[in-house]
Amino acid sequence: CPTSLVREIEEGKREFSPHIWRKMAEMGWLGLIFPSEYGGSEGNFLDLAVLLEEMGRACAPTWFFSTVLLGAQTILNIGNEEQKKRLLPAINKGESLGTMAIIEPQSGYDVAKIEMTSRREGDTFSLNGIKLCVPDVHIANWMVCVTRGKGEKNGSPAMELFLVDKESPGISITPLMTISGDKLFEVKFDNVKVSAENLLGDREQSTADLERTLQRAALAKCAEMVGGAQKVLEMTVDYAKQRVQFNRPIGSFQAIHHHCANMAIDLDCSRYLAYYAAWMLSEGIPCEKEIAMAKAFISDAYINITTLGQQIHGGTGLIKEHDMQLYFR
């Protein structure tokens, strides 16, 4: 994925290439962690982390995270057999695209504060509410929508997850402007009807199931950030060797040494935390703490690494023609 393509997508001149997406499917990337009965490769999360690191390194604006990590992983973890057979093979072949609608104006990722409602009406549910920052919904065929309904046992509020066709009547989509150029959207649901067969998982366990999906998605983003940080360090070291000031490369100055060393330390610590958590997840070892540690540390480390890289590049790193600003934003 060349950075020229990244820029074209960011500027709205084109979407991510369907040809590249099909190639990703042919290489088995989309179904890397799917069981073989759904056409997958039966890989584990450690395999996925390696792939995601390289995607982050390339700053690749693919539909992978929204379709595989948010959409398919939710179906894989909590969907019933009919839902899995209906969607996972199509995702694996690159024929079906999905995403997740969870963030709301007042809740962020806090599932306890979800306000969007789902009301049962016979064999269907009626969905009402607003979701923010829904990734890639403009090209998705469906979305996993997180709502608050009523539990079957005692009538108390319970989390409910639905597979929702993006073309359903009552759905309106508005693009959001972001500093990074990500394709994020506001999605409004106005009495959107969803069949009961598209309800995902057990209502009484939906909150715990959703938390597990979000933890895995967070770890996936950590792996992407490791790849991006690696690329930033490499670009910065190369630039410091070539940029001449006071008749010598700036990389020969001790202050630049310190900056690059600090970047390398943050990078190696980030990689360790991400891959250790990915290994634990792959081995079935409880790792909620390790994923939280990776998320907390790597989020800060990536900012530190890109900020120092930007500082060493100076004004050069700010111009749109240079790749540095892609990773910094």
Using DSSP, state whether 183 is helix, strand or coil: coil
pLDDT of residue 156: 52
pLDDT of residue 106: 84
For 308, how many CA atoms within 13 A lie in the half-sphere containing its CB?
Answer: 26
E-assigned strands of 225-281?
Answer: 244-245, 248-249
> How many CB atoms neighbour CB 130 within 10 A?
18
pLDDT of residue 153: 43
- Which of the listed residues 173, 203, 233 is the one where a domain comes to its end? 203
User: Which tokens go with 303?
Assistant: 């900012």
Give the β-pairing of 157-165 and 142-150.
antiparallel
**Residue linked to tokens 């409004």:** 188
> Does residue 300 share a domain with residue 212?
yes
136 touches 66 (CB < 8 A):
yes
In this structure, what CATH number is given to the domain that contains residue 228?
A: 1.20.140.10
> Does residue 306 share a domain with residue 223?
yes
Distance CA 126, CA 150 (A): 13
Distance CA 9, CA 172 (A): 23
> Does residue 73 share a domain with residue 20?
yes
> Does residue 322 share a domain with residue 263?
yes
In this structure, what CATH number is given to the domain that contains residue 79?
A: 1.10.540.10
pLDDT of residue 250: 87
In 3D space, the residue among 43, 51, 58 whose CA is nearest the CA of residue 5 turns out to be 58
pLDDT of residue 163: 96
pLDDT of residue 316: 84
Q: What is the mean pLDDT of the chain?
A: 90
> Does residue 33 share a domain with residue 122?
no
Which residues of the chain are under the pLDDT cut of 50?
Answer: 153-155
> Does residue 91 share a domain with residue 8?
yes
Instruction: Name the residue type at position 239.
Output: Y
pTM assigned to the model = 0.90
127 touches 112 (CB < 8 A):
no
Q: Name every residue whose Cβ is closer than 8 Å to that of residue 12 and which is 6 or more positions away in sequence.
A: none
> Does residue 227 share a domain with residue 263?
yes
User: Which tokens go with 24?
Assistant: 């990703």
pLDDT of residue 257: 94
164 phi/psi in degrees, rounded to 5 = -120, 125
> Does residue 225 share a domain with residue 322?
yes
pLDDT of residue 154: 46
pLDDT of residue 112: 80
> Does residue 216 share a domain with residue 324?
yes
Torsion angle of the four alpha carbons 104, 106, 109, 114, in this order, in degrees rounded to the nearest 10: -70
Distance CA 225, CA 301 (A): 9
Distance CA 11, CA 34 (A): 34
274, with CB counted inside 10 A (0-12, 13-18, 19+), is buried
Total count of domains within the chain: 3
pLDDT of residue 12: 65
In this structure, what CATH number is given to the domain that contains residue 113?
A: 2.40.110.10
Structural domain that includes position 232: 208-328
- Which of the listed residues 176, 203, 230 is the one where a domain comes to its end? 203
> Does residue 185 share a domain with residue 155?
yes
- Which of the listed residues 153, 174, 203 is the one where a domain comes to its end? 203
Q: Name every residue whose Cβ is closer than 8 Å to that of residue 21 and which is 6 or more positions away in sequence.
A: 62, 63, 94
User: Which tokens go with 175?
Assistant: 């693009």
Distance CA 43, CA 190 (A): 39
Q: Name every residue whose Cβ is closer than 8 Å to that of residue 309 and which is 6 or more positions away in sequence.
A: 232, 233, 235, 236, 263, 317, 324, 327, 328
> Does residue 286 share a domain with residue 235?
yes
> Does residue 170 share a domain with residue 136?
yes
